[in-house]
Amino acid sequence: MALGSTLTVRFDRPLQPGPLAAENWAATWDDVSRLPDTATAAGSQVDIAMHEDEVDFTGSRCSYAAVPPDVMALAGTPAAAFGDFPIT
């Protein structure tokens, strides 16, 4: 059994790498919103580590609060907040 599950959010541009504020992120499944343990940007994606074991995120939703905005493109442009984004 896995020690946790990772949700990967892909962006349309390369991001400044590094740790992000986990409290800016939430994933909702089984009608319960959960905060991740960590969020990390690398390449064009953010990996969100959840402590729940082996989660099937299909049909779930993801949100990014951007308070403060910490997902940044390499050019320095911050990513906009989004909510209730469907996970496929």
Q: What is the pLDDT of residues 47-61, one digit of tens each?
A: 999 876 666 666 788
* Exposure of 5 in the CB half-sphere (CA atoms within 13 A): 12
pLDDT score, position 52: 67
Greater model confidence, 68 or 4: 68
Sheet holding 38-42, edge to edge: 5-10, 45-50, 38-42, 18-20
> What is the domain partition of the chain in residue ranges?
1-54
User: Which residues, listed in sequence order, are joined to residue 45 by a DSSP beta bridge?
Assistant: 10, 42
Q: pTM to 2 decimals?
A: 0.85
Q: What is the pLDDT of residues 9-44, one digit of tens each?
A: 999 999 999 999 999 999 887 788 888 999 999 999
Locus of tokens 């990014």? 64
Greater model confidence, 3 or 38: 38
Say which residues have a Cβ less than 8 Å from residue 34's Cβ, sequence separation at least 6.
26, 27, 28, 50, 52
